[in-house]
Each structure stands twice: as C-alpha cells, then as structure tokens.
Amino acid sequence: MSTLTVDDVSKYYGDVTAVEGVSFEIEDEFAILLGESGAGKSTMLRCINGLTSPSEGEIRLNGEPVNSSRSDIGMIFQQHNLVEGVSAYLNALNGGLSRTSVLKSIFQWQGRDDKKQALDALETVGLLEEAHQTVSQMSGGQQQRVGIARALVQNPRLLLADEPVASLDPSSAETVMAYLKKAAVEHDVTALVSLHQVNIAAYFGERFIGLRDGGLLFDVKRDELTPALIDDLYGDVETVGLADNRQGDDELHPESIGETAEERVEL
Ligand SMILES: Nc1ncnc2c1ncn2[C@@H]1O[C@H](COP(=O)(O)OP(=O)(O)OP(=O)(O)O)[C@@H](O)[C@H]1O
C-alpha cells in the first residue's frame, strides 16, 4: 500500500516552464501519465523520483517528502540502462545494490535472499529460463522486462516508468506493458507510467493524468477517459489511431488490444 501525493508542483528551467501547478494523488493504482512531447511528463517523473527538485510545491510518498533519489522508488527507463555484457540475472541482482556494500557487489557476495529475489523477479516477468542469458543477446522487449525485474528487486513502494515501450514494436509493447502491470499488481506497488500510445494506455491504465504545456489537463479514472479528453490533449493527429476503438462519440473501446498479450502473460 502506498500513496503518492503531488502537491502544487512547478518546475522551471530558466525561462522554460516544464511543469506548472500540478497536483494529484494516486494510491495503489496503475496510473498513466499522458501528454504530447514537451508536455512535462519526464520532468514530472524526475521530480517524483528525486532526480531533480521541484522549483515549487512538494512531493510525498506515504506522507514523507521526496527530496533526493530514494531506493524505495523503482524507475524503469525507455533505454533500460542495463549492463549489456552480463546476464539478466546479474542485472536483476543489481537492483538490490542499495542494500549491499560496493565490496560485496564486486565479489557478488549478495545474500541468498537477494539472489532468490532476483530469480523471483525474473519469474514475474517471464524470464526465469533466460536468467543466465547475456542481456545484449536479448530482444528489446526482453531487455525491458529485465529492467522491470531489476526495479522489483529494489523492493519499491512506487514504480515509475518513463516511456517504457516507446522503442518497441506494438506487439512487444503490449507484452511489456502486461508484465509491468503484473509486476505492480503482484508486488502490490503503486505505479505511474508515462506513455504516448493512447490505446495501450487506455487498455492497461486504471487512472489517467493528462499534462498539457506543463499543466494538469485532466485526472480521471478509466471509465471517464473519453476521446474528447484525448482530443484536448493531443489534437486530431494523435487520436487517429483511436477511430477503430470508438463506439459512439464518447466511449473508448480498447478491448482490441492487450488480450493476446494478457493471454501470453497470464495476468
Ligand atoms: N534540463 C532541462 N533544461 C531546460 N529545459 C528542459 C530541461 N528538461 C526539460 N526541459 C523542457 O521542459 C519542457 C518539458 O520537457 P519534458 O521532457 O518534461 O516533456 P515530456 O512530456 O517528457 O516530453 P517527451 O515526451 O518529448 O520526453 C520542454 O519544453 C523541455 O524542452
């Protein structure tokens, strides 16, 4: 159980306003951050995980201010930042580094608990049999799943992901999202994931936070996410892909995606 509170947060880079006056709270949900390029999604996530500080406002996790990089916030990046030349297992094990001294990690003296946790995390993302495969030999989707496993080994109370499937083909993107959601549900972790693929977002998300020009445009639950809101967020160009999923003018129907991914992932 964890609650993320974003309280009137602004972030300025010189004259540039990246985020302005944004407030929302998410509790035990799989939430999606939507917005076009430059809307402030990455800046918001970087403020939440303490990689940068807000210029104004406060961010709290379970009531405690977040003011520097914290080990209980797991972060998954678009370019997964794995160590390519070593195995999936060793990459996952690295997630526990904050609990292990540098000397121990160099000599791979992590305890049995850490090792079991790394294998459990790889099982969660469907890669137990590939545990000893070198990451550079894995597909982009598999590498991203190793990134999810590594974040899980941190024992996070909050999982953040910045465009985790942006560089994947649509089928791999669905599979990775299905594993990410499975990981959050199984580990009982609140998640905030930035995405630009609206259909994938609508299928997997439980809550949607829309940013436009750094401000909060909407904060809605799944049944309140309408094409009209998406149009407000992206304009006509980005919503073309929604056409086949619409019924009437005011409902999203993302059922056509995700089912095959879910069958594969066995959520
Ligand atoms: N370190 C920085 N220095 C100056 N300006 C920045 C910096 N980081 C972000 N910005 C600016 O802040 C605004 C929001 O950027 P941000 O990367 O948060 O948006 P985004 O929604 O994540 O976009 P994208 O999807 O393209 O990554 C943009 O105008 C960007 O140019």
Angle at 39 between CA 47 and CA 28, to 5 degrees: 50
Taking alpha carbons only, the member of 173, 193, 125, 175 closest to residue 153 is 125
pLDDT at 243: 38
Please report, for the chain, the start and end positions of each structural domain, with discontinuous segments joined by +: 1-72+157-267, 80-155
What is the radius of gyration, based on Cα positions, of the chain?
Answer: 18
Kindly tell me if the per-residue pLDDT of 119 is higher than 90.
yes
- What's the whole-model pTM score? 0.86
Q: Which amino acid residue places its CA nearest to atom 10 of ligand 1?
A: 18
> pLDDT grade, residue 115 (50/70/90)?
confident
CB of residue 42 inside a 6 A radius of ligand 1: yes
Contact 217, 211 (CB under 8 A): yes
Alpha helices by DSSP H, the chain:
41-48, 88-94, 102-106, 112-124, 140-153, 170-186, 198-204, 227-234, 236-239, 259-265
Token code pair at residue 234? 């992206």
262 CA to centre of ligand 1 in angstroms = 33
Give pLDDT tens digits for 232-267: 898 765 444 443 443 333 334 444 455 566 655 655
* pLDDT at residue 205 is higher than 90: yes
Nearest CA, atom 6, ligand 1: 13
Calculate the CA dihedral of residues 118, 122, 127, 132 and round it to 10 degrees. Answer: -10
Asked: is 1-72+157-267 a CATH 3.40.50.300 domain? The reply is yes
The β-bridge relationship of strands 30-34 and 64-65 is unpaired
Q: Is 136 helix (H, G, I), strand (E, B) or coil?
A: helix
How much distance in Å is there from the Cα of 43 to the middle of ligand 1?
6
Q: What is the pLDDT of residues 33-87, one digit of tens each?
A: 999 999 999 999 999 998 899 999 999 999 988 866 566 899 998 877 788 899 9
Selected residue with higher pLDDT from 188 and 112: 188
